[in-house]
Each structure stands twice: as structure tokens, then as C-alpha cells.
């Protein structure tokens, strides 16, 4: 194909991420606009956003306060480096985030995505152990079916098989806890399942195998999200906290999905009453208006790295990104924090929990539904796979949902729901009825 021909084929050049490129480009689902709870399809139809984009547009689409802040910042200061320099909004944003975070999670390192936040958190954990004289602690513990982004660190500690199998040996010195989903005990549970806290005790087995002196950190999602919403069993996260504290191991919560109101709180750790040592965030941080992530570290972690450096002019952490604390992202994030507060979106999310729960559990008994799970304003409808064709039924449900007027987020044969926090009961009901119709249409 000639270059000129390629240039005129608008769909061919873009290698789409996590997408069946060949099928999409035969029957594209193109979005050309967005406002509030709805996206605009290329054919002019309104498409209900049932998943806040990719779990990220928590304040909805096109909020005028956020749009204005980005436009104003672009005209004032489009970029400033944060390597040995700074700009006021980066410090203001970090301070406001630290003030909202629970406990002494009062130091913030800016990244550009959840994947970068995870790799940053893992590196901080390794550097912290070395700085406190425990340089043998290099092992990292993740969890089966966990999703921690697509960096080599994140897919190494992650446990989604398709994300790992194509890329070789990955990082050495990584082990995994068992996942917590068990349909025999927990199918159609509303909120946290009662069964499964004992699965956290497998960490003691892993520690006995490797010895605590070799383990730097454990990383888990408080609620596993991308695999299909696995709420933690009652007491599970508390048990992980007890074991990690006992053995001098850092506990990292990956809250790229659960932070910023998804569970009705600033962070999911507040919802569960567990304070980790490091928290990774992104997505709702700027409501996805400008890409950005943020890693929160407890005071002791930060102070240890500051104290280990050789003098005040020494760099304490040899890590960062060109766009760490980008001015446009900071401006967007500050505006989003204002929107969250002024519109009381976290409390609104919490108030809608009951209606959301009842609505999605009404899908029990629909064709091929084998489980419904929910916590906060996130949930999933799990479908039985077609024999020998895992993921195909979920894919067809997604396509059918688009035809019926909704963007459905699917992971294999699970339909995940995480509507923007501006959602109303009528939007939840609309989403559930579209899903109901789609399930009945897909065999």
C-alpha cells in the first residue's frame, strides 16, 4: 500500500490498544462528542456512558469548570519541567491532595497514568527498603487476576494471564497471592462476601517460603476492578495489613479505580478502614480530562528516603517523568477537586449505592448470568462463557449494547459498570434495561 493511500485510510494507521483491531475497523463504534452522562456517536445517537469511560470520567464529560481551567492554563503556562524546577500549581495540587488523603499519606509523586503510578510505587518501595538498610528486600508480591497496568513492573505483579503470557519472563523475584473470587461460596453477594478472609493468610506461606528479609512490598487492588469487580471478603484487607506490618513489608493499595469517589470516599482505603503505606491513583484524579496519576506515600516512607540522601543537594529518588506534574493536568485536577467538593459527588455516590445494587441484582435470572457483584458505585454482571469460546458472549453483549444506546465495558465475559459520579437513578435504570435487552438478544 502506498503511503498516500495509507494516509487517506483514517482507521488503518491507528493500532488500537486492548482492541480486536480487525473486527473494530470492519464495524467501528466511533464517538465524536460527550457531555455529562452521554457520549455522542458518529451517527448522531446519544450513548449512555455506563463505565465513566474507562473507570475514569468520575465528574462526567465536558464539565465547564474543568474545560475553562485547562484552556486558561494552556494560555498561561503550557509546560514547565519539574526536574530541579517547579511551577505553583504542582505544589498546590499536591498539597490539596495530601490534605484529603487519610492518615499520614501526605506526600504525592505525580505520574501520567495508572501504569506509571504502579511502577513508581514499586520503585519507591524498593528504594525505601534499601534506604533503611534492608537492601535484601527486593521481592514483590502481587495477586492472581490482579491488574496493575501495563508496565513491566505492573504486569509482573499483576495476575491477568493474557496480559503476561506474551512478554516473556518479566521481573524476577515476584510471587502471587490467590485471588478471592469463589462462586460456590459467594455468587450473587451484595457488597463484601463473608467467605474468604482466610485467603489473606496465604501471605504467611509465601513469607515462610521466601523469608521476610527478601520481601519489599505486597500490592493489591482493594477491589479488583479490571478482571470484573471482586469485592474483598470481610476482614481480608485488615488481615493483609496485620501480616505486612508484622514482617516489615510495605503494603501498596492500587487505587487507580477505587480512589476519588468510586466507593463514596476520597480513597477506598477509607471505606475499608485500612491504611496502606503507598497508594497508587490516576483516572478520577483529573476525571480523565488530561492524563495524570499520583502516588501517595506515608510520612515514614518519604522521610526515610530524604534522610538517606547524602546532603541536601543530593537527589533522593532517581525516578520521574518528563510530564510529572504537567501544568495542564494540575489545572484540570484542581478544578476536578473543586467539582467533587462543590457538587458533593462522593456523598452522592454513596447515597446511590443502594439503588445501584438493587438495579444490577435485578439481572439475576437473565440469560447466561452466573453472578452479579457490586460494591460502592461499581459492579459486574458475569456471564457463562460459550463452550470453547471464552469472551465471545461478553463481546457480543458489548456490541449489542452499543446498538441499543450504551457503552458497556467488558472484560472477558463480564460486563463491568462504573458510571460517572454525576449519575442519577434514572441513568442506572436506563443502563440496566439496555443490558437486560442485550442479554436477551445475545445467545
In angstroms, rounded to a whole number, what is the distance separating the alpha carbons of residues 261 and 107?
20
Predicted local confidence at residue 227, as pLDDT? 92
Q: Give yes or no for a contact between 74 and 332, defined as CB atoms under 8 angstroms apart.
A: no
Q: pLDDT per residue over 314-334, tens digit each?
A: 999 999 999 999 999 999 999
Q: Which three cell numbers stand for residue 57?
A: 470520567
Whether pLDDT at 180 is above 80: yes
Q: Give yes or no for a contact between 384 and 378, defined as CB atoms under 8 angstroms apart.
A: no
First to last CA, the chain: 39
Whether pLDDT at 338 is above 90: yes
Q: Give yes or no for a contact between 219 and 114, defined as CB atoms under 8 angstroms apart.
A: no
Q: What is the mean pLDDT of the segment spanning 411-420? A: 97
| Residue 16: band (very low, low, confident or very high) from pLDDT cuts 50, 70, 90 | very high
Q: Which three cell numbers stand for residue 234?
A: 470481610
**What domains does the chain contain, in order, with CATH numbers?**
11-62+344-441 (3.90.1150.10), 67-342 (3.40.640.10)
Predicted local confidence at residue 411, as pLDDT? 93
Q: What is the mean pLDDT of the segment spanning 172-186? A: 96
Helices within 31-77 (DSSP H only): 52-55, 64-76
Whether pLDDT at 420 is above 80: yes
Predicted local confidence at residue 9, as pLDDT? 60
Task: Note the pTM of the prediction, 2 decimals.
Answer: 0.96
Whether pLDDT at 435 is above 50: yes
Whether pLDDT at 2 is above 60: no
Least confident of 7-11, 23-27, 250-254, 427-431: 7-11
Unique residue bearing C-alpha cell 490482579: 146
Q: Give yes or no for a contact between 374 and 411, defined as CB atoms under 8 angstroms apart.
A: no
Q: pLDDT per residue over 112-135, tens digit each?
A: 999 999 999 999 999 999 999 999
Q: pLDDT per residue over 226-267, tens digit each?
A: 999 999 999 999 999 999 999 999 999 999 999 999 999 999
Q: pLDDT per residue over 138-152, tens digit each?
A: 999 999 999 999 999
Alpha-carbon distances, residue 361 vs 94, 374, 417, 424 (angstroms) = 39, 9, 12, 17
Q: pLDDT per residue over 282-291, tens digit each?
A: 999 999 999 9
Q: Which three cell numbers stand for residue 190?
A: 451484595
Above pLDDT 90, what percent of the chain? 96
- Residue 59 CB-half CA count within 13 A: 28
Q: What is the mean pLDDT of the segment spanning 55-77? A: 98
Whether pLDDT at 3 is above 70: no
Amino acid at each position: 500500500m502506498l503511503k498516500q493511500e495509507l494516509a487517506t485510510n483514517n482507521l488503518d494507521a491507528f493500532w488500537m490498544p486492548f482492541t480486536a483491531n480487525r473486527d473494530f475497523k470492519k464495524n467501528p463504534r466511533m464517538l465524536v462528542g460527550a457531555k455529562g452522562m452521554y457520549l455522542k456517536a458518529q451517527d448522531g445517537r446519544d450513548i449512555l456512558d455506563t463505565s465513566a469511560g474507562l473507570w475514569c470520567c468520575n465528574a462526567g464529560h465536558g464539565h465547564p469548570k474543568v474545560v475553562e481551567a485547562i484552556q486558561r492554563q494552556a494560555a498561561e503556562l503550557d509546560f514547565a519541567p519539574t526536574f530541579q524546577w517547579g511551577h505553583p500549581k504542582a505544589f498546590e495540587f499536591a498539597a490539596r491532595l495530601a490534605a484529603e488523603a487519610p492518615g499520614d499519606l501526605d506526600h504525592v509523586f505525580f505520574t501520567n497514568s495508572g501504569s506509571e503510578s504502579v511502577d513508581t510505587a514499586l520503585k519507591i518501595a524498593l528504594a525505601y527498603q534499601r534506604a533503611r538498610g534492608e537492601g535484601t528486600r527486593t521481592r514483590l508480591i502481587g495477586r492472581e487476576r490482579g491488574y496493575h497496568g501495563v508496565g513491566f513492573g505492573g504486569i509482573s505483579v499483576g495476575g491477568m494471564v493474557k496480559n503476561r503470557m506474551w512478554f516473556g519472563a518479566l521481573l524476577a523475584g515476584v510471587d502471587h497471592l490467590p485471588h478471592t473470587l469463589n462462586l460456590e461460596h459467594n455468587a450473587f453477594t451484595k457488597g463484601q462476601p463473608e467467605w474468604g478472609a482466610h485467603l489473606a493468610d496465604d501471605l504467611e506461606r509465601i513469607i515462610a517460603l521466601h523469608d521476610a528479609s527478601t520481601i519489599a512490598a505486597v500490592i493489591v487492588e482493594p477491589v479488583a476492578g479490571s478482571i470484573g469487580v471482586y469485592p474483598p471478603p470481610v476482614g481480608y484487607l485488615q488481615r493483609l495489613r496485620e501480616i505486612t506490618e508484622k514482617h516489615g513489608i510495605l503494603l501498596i493499595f492500587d487505587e487507580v479505580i477505587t480512589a476519588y469517589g468510586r466507593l463514596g470516599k476520597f480513597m477506598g482505603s477509607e471505606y475499608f478502614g485500612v491504611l496502606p503505606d503507598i497508594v497508587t491513583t490516576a483516572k478520577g484524579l483529573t476525571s480523565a480530562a488530561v492524563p495524570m496519576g499520583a502516588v501517595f506515600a506515608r510520612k515514614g516512607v518519604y522521610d526515610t528516603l530524604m534522610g538517606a540522601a547524602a546532603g541536601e543537594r543530593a537527589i533522593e529518588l532517581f525516578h520521574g517523568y518528563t510530564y510529572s506534574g504537567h501544568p495542564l493536568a494540575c489545572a484540570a485536577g484542581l478544578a476536578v477537586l473543586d467539582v467533587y467538593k462543590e457538587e458533593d459527588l462522593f456523598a452522592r455516590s454513596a447515597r446511590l449505592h443502594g439503588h445501584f445494587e438493587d438495579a444490577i441484582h435485578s439481572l439475576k435470572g437473565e440469560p447466561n448470568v452466573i453472578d452479579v457483584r457490586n460494591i460502592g458505585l461499581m459492579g459486574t454482571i458475569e456471564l457463562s462463557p460459550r463452550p470453547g469460546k471464552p469472551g465471545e458472549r461478553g463481546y457480543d453483549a458489548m456490541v449489542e449494547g452499543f446498538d441499543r444506546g450504551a457503552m458497556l465495558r467488558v472484560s472477558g465475559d463480564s460486563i463491568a459498570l462504573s458510571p460517572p459520579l454525576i449519575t442519577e437513578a434514572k441513568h442506572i435504570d436506563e443502563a440496566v434495561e439496555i443490558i437486560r435487552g442485550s442479554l436477551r438478544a445475545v445467545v
